[in-house]
Amino acid sequence: MKKLVLRLVMIAATLGLPAANGPAQEAPTGTVAGVIELHRARVKTGGAKSFKDVVVYLEPTAPGIYPPPTEHAIMDQRGLVFIPHVLAVQQGTTVDFLNSDHDRHNVYFLYDKTGDTLDIGTWGPGQSVSHTFEETGLVITLCQLHLEMAAHILVLKYPFFTVAAIDGKTQKATYEIKGVPAGDYVLKAWHKKLKMKTGTARVTVAAGRIATVDVVITKAKYAAKP
């Protein structure tokens, strides 16, 4: 019997499979990081609806299965402001919409891709409502009871993204995406007002290494055409 078990372990090792009683090994990962600069543009970085947020995300060139997280994301309504103003989530993520104000609030979606709208309800102080985002794309988030309130939710297919903040003085930002499986990716960036100057960038991630990709965002007229 011992010889049979030993032989099975040797076969598993040869095929790159985990041993029957051993722990499953996670895929080796790396990091993508860099600096975000503005070209022939400046943005307002203060206030509730500033332009400081930049979403940097990766799309793998090879097919793969990436289940959405079980942990919920959170968007609060506090001081008649959506917090955060820009939220990035993976497709299939559930977002809890809180009400930390003393007023009733509403959440109303405008889907940028289709123009469709969805009202998920109105609720009072201390209450919350959850919504699962099943489709990718930009979702403009509004409160019909307080028309000055607005936020942006970017729903992405893959879990490799981060939201970076532009510094008001330097007009630059740094970003870092950790836990990226080794492989080839297309890097993209989203901003409310500006576009990625090169359109996209290719990046190869190696296990245990940092791939540096600097990003330049600019006005649409200076950016590469899709």
Structure tokens at 25: 């090994």
Domain 27-64+164-226: state its class: mainly beta
CA distance 153 to 15: 43
Residues (pLDDT < 70) of the chain are 1-25
Q: What per-residue confidence (pLDDT) applies to 25?
A: 61
Number of Cα atoms under 13 Å in the Cβ half of residue 220? 5
Q: What per-residue confidence (pLDDT) applies to 210?
A: 98
Q: What per-residue confidence (pLDDT) applies to 136?
A: 98
Peptide bond into 84 cis (omega under 30): yes
150 touches 28 (CB < 8 A): no
Superfamily of domain 67-157 in CATH is Cupredoxins -  blue copper proteins (2.60.40.420)
Neighbours of 219 (CB within 10 A): 14
Every domain of the chain with CATH number 2.60.40.10 lies at 27-64+164-226
Q: What per-residue confidence (pLDDT) applies to 27?
A: 80
Every domain of the chain with CATH number 2.60.40.420 lies at 67-157
Neighbours of 199 (CB within 10 A): 13
Q: From 141, 31, 153, 32, select the one nearest 91 (Cα to Cα).
A: 153
Q: What per-residue confidence (pLDDT) applies to 225?
A: 86
